[in-house]
Structure 1
Amino acid sequence: MKKITTLSISALASAMLLMTGCSTNNGSQETAAQSVSITEQSSASEKVGYSLGFMMAEGNKEAVKDLNLDTFEKGFRDGYEGNDSALTQEQMQEVLMTYQKEQEEQFAKDMQTKATENKTAGTAFLAENAKKEGVKQTDSGLQYKVLKEGTGKSPKATDVVEVNYEGKLIDGTVFDSSYERGEPIEFPLNQVIAGWTEGLQLMKEGGKYEFYIPSDIAYGEAGNAGIEPNSTLIFTVELLKVK
């Protein structure tokens, strides 16, 4: 059953992406689909139809945020029932290609805007942060503050370290935390962002530092999951062990 459902969803998702180019945004009329009530007591065919529709929409809503559900339903019904298409295959392909190109161009513009804004905000933050008591800065622009000085050994770039940490954006948003996961993490120090590789070599086992990492020694213009391009990052790090 799982294999059939997966294949069906894949095929229907392709149909959805084929039909979305026909949409325009009026979305004001209640469709027949909106009046259908689905419960556990509904027939098997009703539940199958609803399940496929829900999963397909949920999986694609971020890709097509301005989808007109009325015209999508019309296109889906025409295609499924074998009715004549309002547009030729060539027209639909052209519409979809144009839509995709416009979305990609808009995404690139949005990312560039965010990159510029984040770079400006990060530079301003670091300039002010450098004035705070206890904050030191290295030649790379890395800033750090000693919260607790360690007494053990310091790692080299080629060492494996065990740490607890919390990563935040400059607005205070936590994007990653070993504390939340309830366990420390191990990694080779030369396989992380440059700000970490440099910063942890300043520490000793048992120490706890706060690092303020400029974007060019963090994730740069590429960004990362949950991290926009050119974001300045703040990490609180406990160095538990050098291995």
Structure 2
Amino acid sequence: MKSLMRISLIGGAIILALTGCDEKTKTESASNNNSNTVITTTAQKEAYAVGSSFSTYMKHSLDSQKIDVDTEYLLKGFNETYAGHSALATSEIDTILKALGERIQKEESERLEKESNESIASGDKFRAEFAAQEGVHKTESGLLYKVINPGSDNHPTIDSTVVVNYSGKLVDGREFDSSYSRNEPATFPLAFVIKGWGEGLQLIGEGGEIQLVVPPELAYGKQSIPSNGEEGVGIPAQSTLVFDVKLISIEKNESLSTQDEATDSATPVSDQ
């Protein structure tokens, strides 16, 4: 686990300042400017930009790792150390940060274990209920599926590249990905998607539609997938995933040959 407290963050913050913040951050800063600071010279602008970038980077790092700190003392530590008057010796700081890193790692491990156990329990319950529905079938691998429309006789193979529209949800109904929301079909080489997709899409032909309920061992297993953006929905470890997929077409002689080309598409692409 990378410690956010390491001094290398300062270098990272300066790099961010020199390369510039993203447009969203710039817009938010401009629309929420309640500062009374007067900036007139280029040197002042540059210095303020470095400080602002460092603050943004540090706040994001703290928030992403769910670390709650006393802001007053965080600023004191920065200002006094920068001025050469730290209240703590370097050796003491190293000891404190090492202990903090260990505590964060322990808390994160406990959180992931709890999250995984909850995902397993909810996934097992959902799959049992789905399996009892009319028209639902189960493969030897454990994939559950329901064919909505079988489509044509032209079925893809594991070596095919398919064009699809789909939505992906967690078992609680929250949608984590959808080609419909992007208003554009997605293209996937079946050899590079999660196992549940690679197996499931071969069960229908062009024009067909299928609902896939994918157990974690055929999806992302113990891996946790972060959300895309603040409003997005991530995929917890050990999640059962629910996909509604329409197979639009099978590409002819245009199979993608690398995983990197496949990752232009969305969530079902596997990194295994």
Q: TM-score range by the shorter chain?
A: 0.7 to 0.9
Tell me, in whole angstroms, the C-alpha distance in 2 between the residues paired with 1:120 and 1:212.
15
Match of 1:163 in 2: 164
Query: What SS is found at the alignment partner of 1:239?
Result: strand
Match of 1:43 in 2: 39
Match of 1:132 in 2: 133
Match of 1:198 in 2: 199
Deviates more, 1:202-211 or 1:139-148: 139-148
**C-alpha contact (below 8 Å) 1:152/1:206 kept by paired residues:** no
Deviation, 1:11, is 8.0
Match of 1:32 in 2: none
Tell me, in whole angstroms, the C-alpha distance in 2 between the residues paired with 1:201 and 1:121.
27
Amino acid at match of 1:99: L
Deviation, 1:176, is 0.7
**C-alpha contact (below 8 Å) 1:161/1:186 kept by paired residues:** yes
Higher helix share: 1
Amino acid at match of 1:229: A
Tell me, in whole angstroms, the C-alpha distance in 1 between the residues paired with 2:237 and 2:52.
37
Deviation, 1:57, is 4.0
Q: Give the direction of change, closer, same or farther, for the CA distance of 1:139–1:71 in structure 2 (3 Å limit).
A: same
Deviations 1:116-138 (A, max 9, x none): 12111111111111111222211
Amino acid at match of 2:112: M
Is 2:70 the counterpart of 1:68? Answer: yes
Match of 1:9 in 2: 13
Deviation, 1:10, is 3.4
Deviations 1:1-38 (A, max 9, x none): xxxxx96833899xxxxxxxxxxxxxxxxxxxxxx951
**C-alpha contact (below 8 Å) 1:165/1:179 kept by paired residues:** yes
Q: Which runs of 4+ in 1 moved over 4 A?
A: none
Larger radius of gyration: 1
Deviates more, 1:64-73 or 1:214-223: 64-73
Tell me, in whole angstroms, the C-alpha distance in 2 between the residues paired with 1:139 and 1:162.
26
Amino acid at match of 2:74: F
Tell me, in whole angstroms, the C-alpha distance in 2 between the residues paired with 1:64 and 1:209.
39
Structure 2: segments with no counterpart, 5+ residues = 1-9, 18-32, 227-233, 252-272
Query: What SS is found at the alignment partner of 1:126?
Result: helix
Tell me, in whole angstroms, the C-alpha distance in 2 between the residues paired with 1:145 and 1:176.
20
Match of 2:254 in 1: none
Structure 1: segments with no counterpart, 5+ residues = 1-5, 14-35
Within 5 A, what are the aligned runs for 1:1-243? 9-10=13-14, 37-38=34-35, 42-44=38-40, 45=44, 48=48, 51-52=52-53, 54-62=55-63, 63=65, 65-83=67-85, 85-225=86-226, 226-243=234-251
RMSD: 2.5
Q: Give the direction of change, closer, same or farther, for the CA distance of 1:163–1:112 in structure 2 (3 Å limit).
A: same
Q: Give the direction of change, closer, same or farther, for the CA distance of 1:43–1:179 in structure 2 (3 Å limit).
A: same
**C-alpha contact (below 8 Å) 1:170/1:233 kept by paired residues:** yes
Amino acid at match of 2:184: E
Tell me, in whole angstroms, the C-alpha distance in 2 between the residues paired with 1:152 and 1:223.
37
Amino acid at match of 2:238: N
Deviations 1:88-126 (A, max 9, x none): 101101111110111111111111111112111111111
Tell me, in whole angstroms, the C-alpha distance in 2 between the residues paired with 1:209 and 1:42.
61
Tell me, in whole angstroms, the C-alpha distance in 2 between the residues paired with 1:125 and 1:200.
21
**C-alpha contact (below 8 Å) 2:168/2:177 kept by paired residues:** yes
Amino acid at match of 1:153: N
Amino acid at match of 1:227: I
Number of aligned residues: 214
Amino acid at match of 2:243: F
Tell me, in whole angstroms, the C-alpha distance in 2 between the residues paired with 1:177 and 1:238.
12
Deviation, 1:82, is 2.0
Amino acid at match of 1:165: Y
Query: What SS is found at the alignment partner of 1:106?
Result: helix
Identity fraction in percent: 35
